[in-house]
Structure 1
Amino acid sequence: MMNIMKSLALGFLALSLESPVIQAEPQDIQDEAGYATSTLDARVARLEKKAANQPLTEVVREMDRLKEELKKLRGQVEEMHNDLERQSGQMAALVQKNAELEARSPGGTTTGAPASPNPAATAGEAAATGTSVTGSPDQAKPPGNIDAALAAPKPQVAPPDPFARQKEYEHAFETLKAAKYTEAISEFQAFVAKYPTGDYSDSANYWLGEALYVNRAFVPAREAFRKMIADFPQSAKVPDAKLKLAYIEYENQQYPRARELLSEIAKNYPNSATAKMAEKRLERMRQENR
Structure 2
Amino acid sequence: MRPVRIALLIAALGASQAQAGMFDDDEARRQIADQRIKTEARFDQQARAQLELASQIQRQADEIARLRGQIETLTYELETAKKRQQDFYLDLDTRLRKFESGAPAPTAAVDGANPANSKPAGDPAKESQDYETALNQFKAAKYKEAAAGFGAFVQKFPDSSLAPNAQYWLGNAWYAQRDCKKAIDAQSVVTSRYADSPKAADAWIAIATCQLDMGKAAEAKKALETVVAKYPNTPAADTARERLKKK
Superposition TM-score, scaled by structure 1 size: 0.49
Equivalent residues of 1:184, 1:208 under 8 A apart: yes
* Match for residue 98 of structure 2 among 70, 78, 88: 88
Q: Tell me which amino acid in the other structure corresponds to 2:159.
A: T
Aligned to 2:166: 204
Q: Tell me which amino acid in the other structure corresponds to 1:282.
A: L
Distance in 2 (CA, whole Å) between partners of 1:39 and 1:236 is: 41
After the TM superposition, which residues 9-48 of structure 1 pair with which residues of structure 2 at under 5 Å, given as runs? 42-44=72-74
Q: Tell me which amino acid in the other structure corresponds to 1:78.
A: F
**Is 1:276 paired with 2:246?**
no
Distance in 1 (CA, whole Å) between partners of 2:187 and 2:162 is: 15
Distance in 2 (CA, whole Å) between partners of 1:195 and 1:279 is: 34
Distance in 2 (CA, whole Å) between partners of 1:208 and 1:42 is: 30
Bigger share in helix? 2
Q: What SS does the corresponding residue of 1:216 show, helix, strand or coil?
A: coil
Instruction: Describe the shift of the 1:43–1:256 C-alpha distance in structure 2 as closer, same or farther (beyond 3 A).
Output: farther
Equivalent residues of 1:188, 1:205 under 8 A apart: yes
Instruction: Describe the shift of the 1:281–1:161 C-alpha distance in structure 2 as closer, same or farther (beyond 3 A).
Output: closer
Instruction: Describe the shift of the 1:40–1:230 C-alpha distance in structure 2 as closer, same or farther (beyond 3 A).
Output: farther
* Match for residue 185 of structure 2 among 223, 234, 241: 223
* Match for residue 187 of structure 1 among 149, 155, 158: 149
- Structure 1, residues 78-102: CA drift from partner, whole Å, max 9, x if none? 33223212323455679xx8xxxxx
Q: What SS does the corresponding residue of 1:261 show, helix, strand or coil?
A: helix
Distance in 2 (CA, whole Å) between partners of 1:213 and 1:167 is: 24
Instruction: Describe the shift of the 1:197–1:279 C-alpha distance in structure 2 as closer, same or farther (beyond 3 A).
Output: same
1:259 to partner: Cα distance:
1.6
Greater Cα radius of gyration, structure 1 or 2: 2
1:161 to partner: Cα distance:
5.8
* Match for residue 242 of structure 1 among 193, 204, 228: 204
Distance in 1 (CA, whole Å) between partners of 2:123 and 2:234 is: 37
Distance in 1 (CA, whole Å) between partners of 2:72 and 2:170 is: 30
Task: Note the residue ranges of structure 1 that are not aligned, 5 or more in a row.
Answer: 1-37, 47-65, 98-159
Equivalent residues of 2:224, 2:240 under 8 A apart: yes
Distance in 1 (CA, whole Å) between partners of 2:171 and 2:75 is: 33
1:249 to partner: Cα distance:
1.1
Distance in 1 (CA, whole Å) between partners of 2:126 and 2:75 is: 48
RMSD: 3.3
Q: Percent identity?
A: 29
**Is 1:169 paired with 2:131?**
yes
Equivalent residues of 1:192, 1:204 under 8 A apart: yes
Q: What SS does the corresponding residue of 1:199 show, helix, strand or coil?
A: coil
Instruction: Describe the shift of the 1:282–1:93 C-alpha distance in structure 2 as closer, same or farther (beyond 3 A).
Output: closer
Instruction: Describe the shift of the 1:234–1:262 C-alpha distance in structure 2 as closer, same or farther (beyond 3 A).
Output: same
- Structure 1, residues 122-173: CA drift from partner, whole Å, max 9, x if none? xxxxxxxxxxxxxxxxxxxxxxxxxxxxxxxxxxxxxx96411111101111
Aligned to 1:22: none
Superposition TM-score, scaled by structure 2 size: 0.56
Distance in 1 (CA, whole Å) between partners of 2:175 and 2:75 is: 28
Instruction: Describe the shift of the 1:191–1:253 C-alpha distance in structure 2 as closer, same or farther (beyond 3 A).
Output: same
Q: Which has the higher contact order (CA 8 A, sep 6+)?
A: 1
Equivalent residues of 2:143, 2:174 under 8 A apart: yes
Q: Tell me which amino acid in the other structure corresponds to 2:93.
A: D
Count of matched residue positions in the alignment of Structure 1 and Structure 2? 163
- Structure 1, residues 49-68: CA drift from partner, whole Å, max 9, x if none? xxxxxxxxxxxxxxxxx79x
Equivalent residues of 1:209, 1:220 under 8 A apart: yes
Distance in 2 (CA, whole Å) between partners of 1:40 and 1:177 is: 28
Task: Note the residue ranges of structure 2 that are not aligned, 5 or more in a row.
Answer: 1-67, 106-121
Equivalent residues of 1:75, 1:273 under 8 A apart: no
